[in-house]
């Protein structure tokens, strides 16, 4: 960011973060090239090539919303069911191995 040593102060980090937040919706040059390539590919495959605009390929980013208690409970139930499945599968494999040994 223009200074000689590689250290970054907290204030510089906050300034960089504020700048970066404003840059999410401004495509860089390589982003524009990627958008143009996608536009041309879509035009080739479309029945109405003139209806395909470059703005259709611009990605929009949103900040994540705060998780509610309900979301956390739902995620907890999903995690529990995944682990229960994994443990039951591991248990059944070990039982099969024991049966093969006998």
Rg of the chain over all Cα atoms, to the nearest angstrom: 26
The pTM (predicted TM-score) of the whole model is 0.47
Q: Where are the domains of the chain?
A: 8-63, 65-102
- State the number of CA atoms in the 13 A half-sphere of 69 facing the CB: 0
pLDDT digits (tens, 9 = 90+) for 21-39: 888 888 889 999 999 999 9
Q: Give pLDDT tens digits for 39-82.
A: 999 999 999 999 999 999 988 877 777 888 999 999 999 999 99
Using CA atoms, how far apart are residues 68 and 75, in angstroms rounded to an integer? 11
Alpha-carbon torsion angle 63, 66, 70, 71, nearest 10:
40
């Amino acid at each position: 960011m223009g200074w000689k040593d590689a250290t970054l102060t907290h204030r510089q980090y906050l300034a960089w973060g504020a700048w970066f937040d404003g840059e999410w919706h401004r495509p860089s040059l390589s982003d524009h090239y990627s958008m143009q390539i996608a536009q041309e590919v879509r035009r080739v495959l479309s029945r109405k090539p003139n209806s395909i605009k470059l703005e259709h390929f611009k990605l929009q980013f949103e900040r994540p919303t705060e998780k509610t208690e309900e979301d956390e409970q739902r995620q907890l139930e999903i995690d529990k069911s995944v682990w229960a499945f994994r443990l039951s599968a591991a248990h059944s494999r070990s039982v099969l191995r024991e049966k093969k040994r006998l």
